[in-house]
Amino acid sequence: MSRPLVLVSNDDGYRSHGVQALREALERIAEVVVCAPEIEQSATSHSLSVHRPLRLFRREDRLFSVDGTPADCVYVALYGDRKVLPRAPDLVVSGVNHGVNLGDDVFYSGTIAAAREAALKGITSIAVSTSFNADTRVAAELATKLAELLLERNERRALLLNVNVPKPWNGAVRATRLGRRLYQDDVEFRRDPRGREYMWIGGAGYEHPPLAGSDTEAFDAGTATITPLSLDLWAPHEAAFVEELAPRLTRT
């Protein structure tokens, strides 16, 4: 029988150390194809480039880049007339991201978006991230062990798992829920050499409010986390409130 096929992507670009470490680790258990952004696409979330043409580059055997977003890369790999993948992948793994994706990060992360794009198509997917300045090979090994378990179980469903590995890591792994990762909100105005104004958005600081069982709580304790993410954004606890509003907005 043929080996499982794993598609690897990320948001740091196809040259990143994280994607190289992940590729090398996964190749022990599967056939691996990488399709990743041409340049870094951090915080691009789940955007698709529908208003401009994209270009696909074959860098070497089973290594491709796309001049687009992480979600673009997975989309092109899955539906690109087999120019990237010889068949449908058994699993998609995104990472290893340089910097964690905890709590509110899931709304902005290109790493998670690449995995989510595959999950939306019914493919089991993993997003894996680690701390800045961490050895990405450690996270890649953990992701590979998880991938092996999923492949052994022959999981073929829209499962999306978000994995984060701290530095230092105490060796433990915990199943978690999403916490809160609150960044310092800031817009910094500057002047370029020609006197024109420009801006940097987003502050450098962040905090993790206490929340039992959360990924942020476990991460702060030095524990690696696995958080299942939902693809359904419907908020059932707000349904009664909207049911009350709808009749008042109905035209008669």
pLDDT digits (tens, 9 = 90+) for 160-202: 999 999 999 999 999 999 999 888 888 999 999 999 999 988 7
Global pTM reads 0.92
Number of residues in the chain: 252
CB 66 within 8 A of CB 76: yes
Single-letter amino acid, residue 93: V
pLDDT digits (tens, 9 = 90+) for 73-106: 999 999 999 999 999 999 999 999 999 999 999 9
pLDDT for 1 equals 57
N- to C-terminal Cα distance for the chain? 64
User: 2 phi and psi, to 5 degrees?
Assistant: -75, 155
Single-letter amino acid, residue 24: E
